Amino acid sequence: MNLQYNKYEPDFFGVGIHRGSLFRLLYDKALKSNPKLVLRAHVRDIRDVHTQPKVVLTDGSVSDPYDLVIVSNGAKSSLRSLLPGKKFEQEYPWGALWGVFENTGLDSTTLFQRYGGTTRLLGFLPCGDHPETGKRSVSFFWSLRKTDHRALVADGLEAFKETLGAFEPDCQLLLNQMTRWEDFAFVSYTDVYLREWMEGKVIFIGDSAHGMSPQLGLGANMAIYDGLLTGELLAAGRVNQLHTLATLRRKQNRFYHRVSRLMTPFFQSDHTLLGHLRDRTFPLLPHLPFIDRLMVETLYGTRDGLFSRRGLG
């Protein structure tokens, strides 16, 4: 399946970015407001959420009161218990082994993925210049059941590299950089859906409010929308309207949440028949005009539903 970002919007493009680069952009911007930064502070709870919220750390210390607390600590956030009302949380049995390496020959403009049924998935995501070395980098990921991670490590790194080289020849360009298991991080995923994102003066955004499996970066697009709209409301002094964010975003997030839950088993699951069905039908879908446009615009993040769109403004 070959999906082109600029097929329907010539100015549109996809960006793969290293987390460290994204953090550096946000960090440098934050420094301009002369903030008080507290590092390595693990938040256990938030008190007085309806008046002046205070953050409680794992060491028992309590912060000064804040006007607003924005929770953006990811899909595994333990703070969602603060929110009443409808919520859905389910951890996927599958995850992925991730590593970031120097790109020494892979296509730097293409997200490439190879599948073997629904149990093997390998991908290369070019992610620009490394924030520390400045060299071109690529994210590598390998699908893995959570229960299989320990056995993979026990079998040894060389056995794993042999498997990769046999599965995808282009892996040879990276194998000599894979020298220890510490070069990788194993990440599992949690499916999250909250109907309401705000309680008192505490608001949840990004994966902490609507996490999903990382198929094609849909969750990242949704988090960027959250940040954009939250920032606009704060910049305009409309803090009292932040509670409307969940309503503004509900239709779109519900659509992407459903797409993610529907599509994930075709790529990562124990249902081998779904893999055969995918291999025979998915390559045909881009030849159907309506379906092709739906798929590409879903990648853009500009869909609200099967028959409705949302502009980027």
Residues 181-200 have pLDDT tens digits of: 999 999 998 999 999 999 99
With a cut of 80, say whether residue 215 has pLDDT above it: no
Question: Does residue 178 lie in a domain region?
Answer: yes
Regarding whether 207 and 94 lie in a shared domain, the answer is no
- Among 143, 161, 188, identify where a domain stops: 188
Residue 125: predicted pLDDT: 94
Regarding whether 209 and 161 lie in a shared domain, the answer is no
Please, which pLDDT band fits residue 158 given cuts at 50, 70 and 90? very high
pTM given for the model: 0.90
Question: Domain with 32 in it: what CATH number?
Answer: 3.50.50.60
With a cut of 90, say whether residue 155 has pLDDT above it: yes
Residue 20: predicted pLDDT: 87
Please, which pLDDT band fits residue 63 given cuts at 50, 70 and 90? very high
Regarding whether 195 and 227 lie in a shared domain, the answer is yes
The distance in angstroms from the start CA to the end CA of the chain is 29
Which percentage of the chain shows pLDDT scores above 70?
99
pLDDT one-digit tens code per residue, 228-271: 999 999 999 999 999 999 998 999 999 999 999 999 999 999 99
- Tally of residues, the chain: 313
Residue 43: predicted pLDDT: 95
Residue whose structure tokens are 């608001």: 203
- Among 136, 161, 188, identify where a domain stops: 188
Stretch 67-87: mean pLDDT: 92
Regarding whether 228 and 170 lie in a shared domain, the answer is no
As a whole number, the mean pLDDT across the chain is 92
3-state secondary structure of 8: coil
pLDDT one-digit tens code per residue, 29-61: 989 999 998 888 999 999 999 999 999 999 999
- Please report which residue ranges of 3-85 form alpha helices under DSSP H: 19-31
Regarding whether 184 and 195 lie in a shared domain, the answer is no
Counting the structural domains of the chain, the total is 2
Question: Does residue 205 lie in a domain region?
Answer: yes
3-state secondary structure of 185: strand
With a cut of 80, say whether residue 312 has pLDDT above it: no
Residue 39: predicted pLDDT: 85
CA-based nearest residue to 55, from 40, 45, 68: 45
Stretch 267-295: mean pLDDT: 93
For residue 74, the enclosing domain spans 19-89+190-282
